[in-house]
């Protein structure tokens, strides 16, 4: 890890016109979190002294989202977008009193790795730029080298034919001493085709002062930027491939990995099995040896070792499954703790509840937790047996080793070891069914 103090400035002011959306570009989801969260995660992995996010379009919306993404990042608003150099200068007040190196990242460039930034900080140069060899350099700025040193960066629209032939391109990521960076930025002008203040101009200015500039090279895929909906779709594919590969290499079993959809923070332990067509929303931890069966959806939940979920199950936020729990097909669990060895195997809803060890929940069971205003809890003890099609009207408690009869509507607590029967008594009327059906058919014939 980098020892010298560093600060990270993340540029996130752009509207993203090509996204064809009112949502600020950096808030479009990637890995089921705002794209900005990926840049922030890279920053946080470097243990920086400060993280400053430069906002612009939708500044209030971005700032509100950032509160959920990072407890330490602060914002600086670029009220008028005049270029990348101007954007970094906007962050200067938030860097007041900081002494160390500053790294400039981008909210729409989500795949820059912390290890790559660390290589940049280790060059010893006054200014370091991250570059890549482009298959199609077209619109990218070119890194013009002079021997082993970086001489200047030329934007594509300002480049000569000779400069356009260069395939070493600029990612936009830059590292420099903080005081030097702000001093260089103060001298940048906007005499270029776009009439913008380019951050990249600081390289030529530094060289004119006799300072050193170097380029660090990374794979082109790491620098993938998102400027349109099609770019975002491509980035999602890249993210999913990277995340799946990471998990498979860590020992997760995925028979059809291309069908599994993961979130940025999904954690799955080794020897866990994830069957085809499973979706992980944010906040999911699956421990070693668990099995997530096909067509299940998990969000904000914890699945312990040896548990089985699905197929066609839904775990919502607050679902806590202990070891060797069975959650079966078409079962939904929300804000509920399921103790070791308990089973909820068929067509049930368990919400705002606790289920004791080795308890069996019969098919069609519902914890009736919502009265239209408030949520109420259901507590079910250990080794209880809840009969099929039981309605548990919360707040209610079912004791250890208690039993409810199928079809019961339980509105009162059931003591430990007790049997609760709460349904209307069956009454048979001999011959009445034939008479009733004959009359109905006659009515129907008359209307015809």
Tens-digit pLDDT string for the chain (448 aa): 446 799 999 999 988 899 999 999 999 999 999 999 999 999 999 999 999 999 999 999 999 999 999 999 999 999 988 999 999 999 999 999 999 999 999 999 999 999 999 999 999 999 999 999 998 888 899 999 999 999 999 988 888 889 989 999 999 999 999 999 999 999 999 888 788 898 989 999 999 999 999 999 999 999 999 999 999 999 999 999 999 999 999 999 999 999 999 999 999 999 999 999 999 999 999 999 999 999 999 999 999 999 999 999 999 999 999 999 999 999 999 999 999 999 999 999 999 999 999 999 999 999 999 999 999 999 999 999 999 999 999 999 999 999 999 999 999 999 999 999 999 888 999 999 999 999 999 999 998 8
Distance CA 381, CA 104 (A): 55
- The pLDDT of residue 135 is 87
Cβ-contact 309, 328 below 8 angstroms: no
- The pLDDT of residue 159 is 87
**Between the CA of residue 58 and those of 21, 61, 225, 399, what are the distances in Å?**
12, 5, 20, 53
Instruction: Name the CATH code of domain 229-420 (choices 2.60.120.10, 1.10.10.10, 2.160.10.10, 3.40.50.720).
Output: 2.160.10.10
Distance CA 275, CA 1 (A): 37
Cβ-contact 227, 109 below 8 angstroms: no
Cβ-contact 212, 127 below 8 angstroms: yes
Query: End-to-end alpha-carbon separation of the chain, Å?
Result: 84
Question: CATH 3.90.550.10 occupies which residues in the chain?
Answer: 6-223
- The pLDDT of residue 281 is 97
- The pLDDT of residue 3 is 64
Residue 349 region, left (φ>0) first, then alpha (ψ -120 to 50), else beta? beta
- Architecture, CATH, for domain 6-223: Alpha-Beta Complex (3.90)
* HSE-up of residue 416 (Cα within 13 Å, Cβ side): 5
Q: Which residues are identified as catalytic?
A: 346
- The pLDDT of residue 105 is 98
**Between the CA of residue 77 and those of 57, 61, 201, what are the distances in Å?**
9, 12, 22
Give buried/exposed letters for 297-312 (b at 16+ CB in 10 A, else e): bbbbbbbbebbbbbbb
- The pLDDT of residue 361 is 98
Give all strands (DSSP E) within 347-395, no chain letters.
Answer: 349-355, 360-361, 366-368, 378-380, 385-386, 391-393
Question: CATH 2.160.10.10 occupies which residues in the chain?
Answer: 229-420
Q: What is the DSSP string of 255-302?
A: SSGGG-B--TT-EE-TT-EE-SS-EE-SS-EE-TT-EE-TT-EE-S-E
State the CB neighbour count (10 A cutoff) for residue 395. Answer: 15
Provide CB contacts within 8 A for 171, sequence distance 6+. Answer: 109, 112, 129, 130, 131, 132, 218, 223
């Amino acid at each position: 890890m980098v020892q010298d103090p560093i600060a990270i400035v993340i540029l996130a002011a752009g509207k993203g016109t090509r996204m064809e959306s009112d949502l600020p570009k950096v808030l479009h989801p990637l890995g089921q979190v705002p794209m900005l969260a990926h840049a922030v995660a890279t920053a946080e992995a470097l243990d920086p002294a400060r993280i400053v996010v430069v906002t612009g379009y939708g500044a209030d919306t971005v700032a509100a989202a950032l509160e959920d993404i990072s407890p330490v990042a602060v914002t600086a608003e670029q009220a008028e977008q005049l270029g990348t150099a101007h954007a970094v200068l906007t962050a200067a007040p938030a860097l007041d009193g900081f002494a160390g190196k500053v790294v400039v990242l981008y909210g729409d460039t989500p795949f820059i790795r912390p290890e790559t930034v660390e290589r940049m900080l280790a060059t010893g140069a006054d200014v370091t730029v991250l570059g890549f060899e482009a298959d199609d350099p077209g619109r990218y700025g070119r890194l013009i080298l002079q021997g082993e040193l970086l001489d200047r960066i030329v934007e594509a629209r300002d480049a000569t034919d000779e400069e356009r032939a260069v395939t070493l391109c600029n990612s936009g990521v830059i590292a420099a001493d903080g005081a030097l960076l702000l001093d260089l930025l103060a001298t940048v002008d906007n005499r270029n085709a776009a009439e913008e203040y380019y951050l990249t101009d600081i390289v030529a200015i530094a060289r004119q002062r006799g300072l050193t500039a170097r380029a660090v090279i990374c794979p082109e895929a790491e620098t993938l930027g998102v400027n349109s909906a099609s770019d975002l779709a491509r980035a999602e594919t890249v993210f999913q491939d990277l995340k799946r590969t990471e998990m498979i290499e860590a020992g997760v079993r995925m028979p059809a990995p291309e069908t599994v959809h993961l979130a940025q923070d999904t954690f799955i332990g080794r020897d866990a099995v994830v069957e085809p067509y499973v979706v992980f929303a944010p906040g999911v931890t699956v421990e070693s040896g668990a099995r997530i069966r096909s067509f299940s959806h998990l969000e904000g939940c914890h699945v312990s070792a040896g548990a089985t979920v699905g197929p066609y199950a839904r775990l919502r936020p607050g679902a806590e499954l202990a070891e060797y729990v069975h959650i079966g097909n078409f079962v939904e669990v929300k804000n509920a703790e399921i103790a070791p060895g308990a089973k909820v195997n068929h067509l049930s809803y368990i919400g705002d509840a606790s289920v004791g060890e080795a308890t069996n929940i019969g098919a069609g069971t519902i914890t009736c937790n919502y009265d239209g205003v408030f949520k109420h809890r259901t507590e079910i003890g250990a080794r209880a047996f809840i009969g099929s099609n039981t309605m548990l009207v919360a707040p209610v408690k079912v004791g250890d080793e208690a039993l409810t009869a199928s079809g019961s509507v339980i509105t009162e607590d059931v003591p430990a070891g007790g049997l609760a029967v709460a349904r209307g008594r069956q009454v048979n009327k001999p011959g009445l069914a034939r008479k009733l059906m004959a009359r109905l058919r006659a009515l129907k014939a008359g209307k015809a």
